[in-house]
Chain A
Amino acid sequence: KAGVTQTPRYLIKTRGQQVTLSCSPISGHRSVSWYQQTPGQGLQFLFEYFSETQRNKGNFPGRFSGRQFSNSRSEMNVSTLELGDSALYLCASSLAGQPDSPLHFGNGTRLTVT
């Protein structure tokens, strides 16, 4: 069974641009959640999608948005990029999005904003 796939692995953008990151969950998983990892703030929860609906959201500005498609694939979008958005963005999927369902993480997308 293929794991969680995130594309691209690396991305370099300029301040003010926007970016879209993609996450393909494990087959059959309906929940996808996103995390931001930075040296200063550590790992922080961005949001979670389940059956195409955002079910939970962390404390990030509205520039961070996401969506989930009918095949459970998810995209995350960051508009008007700032230098502080440079981070590793991790996606995780789970079967049912319940606490009993373990999270499976991808290898992340490393975003650098210059």
Chain B
Amino acid sequence: AQTVTQSQPEMSVQEAETVTLSCTYDTSENNYYLFWYKQPPSRQMILVIRQEAYKQQNATENRFSVNFQKAAKSFSLKISDSQLGDTAMYFCAFMSRNTGTASKLTFGTGTRLQVTL
């Protein structure tokens, strides 16, 4: 079974600054996806960024980028130029590429990010 750990329950960052959210995971599989999801007060889970484990290059999406360290099983999210709209819960998640477990995400406990003026 996979586990995902987010050790930072809450974080705060000033607008326009950069913040990094941590995530570690444990799995015996070699082929998988990792995700960061954002959940604002509207409750909808929104995909922020996705990383395929077999790709060494770190994924980037505009102001969001990841630092994927496969050997260390670490997957951190960096948010640059933070905006007030980035205030939300952020969840790290794991999905196996085994089609037998398709759509089964294993989530971490989340990090509540507050962006302040």
Cα distance, A114 to B50, chains bound together (Å): 39
B4 to chain A, nearest CB (A): 10
A residues 49-70 touching B (CB-CB < 8 Å): 50, 55-56, 58
When C-beta atoms are compared, the residue in chain A nearest to B37 turns out to be A105
When C-beta atoms are compared, the residue in chain A nearest to B95 turns out to be A99
When C-beta atoms are compared, the residue in chain B nearest to A59 turns out to be B1
Contact residue range for chain B?
Answer: 20 to 34
0/1 string, A82-105, CB within 8 A of B gives 1? 000000101010100111001111
For residue A43, CB closer than 8 A to chain B, the reply is yes
In the complex, chain A residues whose CB is within 8 Å of the CB of B110: 42
For residue B11, CB closer than 8 A to chain A, the reply is no
- Contact call B44/A103, Cβ cutoff below 8 A: no
Whether A107 contacts B43 in the complex (CB less than 8 A), given A42-B110, A99-B95, comes out as: yes
Number of A residues with CB within 8 Å of any CB on chain B? 27
- Contact call B103/A97, Cβ cutoff below 8 A: yes
8 Å CB contact of A102 from B43, B50, B106: B50
Cα distance, A98 to B105, chains bound together (Å): 12
When C-beta atoms are compared, the residue in chain B nearest to A33 turns out to be B103
- Contact call B50/A33, Cβ cutoff below 8 A: no
When C-beta atoms are compared, the residue in chain B nearest to A35 turns out to be B105
Cα distance, A50 to B37, chains bound together (Å): 23
In the complex, chain A residues whose CB is within 8 Å of the CB of B84: none
- Contact call A105/B99, Cβ cutoff below 8 A: no
Interface residues of A (CB under 8 A from B): 31, 33, 35, 42-45, 48, 50, 55-56, 58, 88, 90, 92, 94, 97-99, 102-108, 110
Query: What are 9 pairs between A and B in contact, CB < 8 Å?
Result: A42-B107, A42-B108, A45-B105, A48-B104, A92-B103, A99-B97, A102-B50, A105-B45, A108-B44
Interface residues of B (CB under 8 A from A): 32-33, 37, 42-47, 50, 91, 95-110
Q: Given A43-B91, A108-B44, 5 more contacts at CB 8 Å? A: A33-B104, A44-B107, A45-B106, A105-B37, A106-B44
| Interface pairs A-B: 4 shortest CB-CB | A105-B45, A43-B107, A33-B103, A48-B103
